[in-house]
Amino acid sequence: MPETPEIFQDGDSLISSAVDGIQWFNTGGLISGATGQVYYPEAEDDYYVIATNSSGCKSDTSNIIHFLFTGIEDKSSTSTIIIYPNPFQDQLKIIFADKPVVGIFIRVTDILGRELLTQEIPTVDLGEIIIIPTRGLKNCLYLISVIDSEGNMLISKKLIKD
């Protein structure tokens, strides 16, 4: 029997701890086509997942989350940061497109918030490409955060390794 998955809300999306065999549900029942690890609900409702393994065995129902749209995109950021590719394989690239930055921290975490990679970069020039090696990461969903020396979040983005 598959392990019972957990789900989490991250801004405008719901994320399952299960990677494969996922089916999303709401109070209306099965959500047709909603089988990915990340789901972007279109309405406020209660959501949960059930995972099915390759033998056809189903997990218990995950925790239920009442989804509310949260978070407002901050357009006042003084820096444009580009993180690519998504999905990624052996490396991530980060470009600061607007201005140079002094003292940044790059952190990659899994969906449970465990820090897997961290890198401190003293100075980044305009247009410089920062390469983050990711060979040691398994194929799943990650969150990358770029933080300045004062602790301000410059960007946070969900990425998939495939």
**Is the pLDDT higher at 67 or at 74?**
67
pLDDT bucket at 69, cuts 50 / 70 / 90:
low
**Is the pLDDT higher at 33 or at 100?**
33
> Alpha-carbon distance 144 to 106, whole Å?
7
CB 148 within 8 A of CB 154: yes
**Architecture of the domain delimited by 81-160:** Sandwich (2.60)
> Alpha-carbon distance 160 to 149, whole Å?
27
pTM > 0.85: yes or no: no
Mean pLDDT score, 95-110: 85
What pLDDT, on the 0 to 100 scale, is given for residue 79? 54
Q: Give percent of the chain with pLDDT exceeding 70.
A: 93
For 103-156, what is each residue's pLDDT tens digit? 899 999 987 778 899 999 998 888 788 999 999 998 888 889 998 888 888 888
Tokens 């950021």 found at: 77
pLDDT bucket at 70, cuts 50 / 70 / 90:
low
Q: Give the residue extent of every domain in the chain.
A: 7-67, 81-160
What average pLDDT is seen over the chain?
86
What pLDDT, on the 0 to 100 scale, is given for residue 63? 94
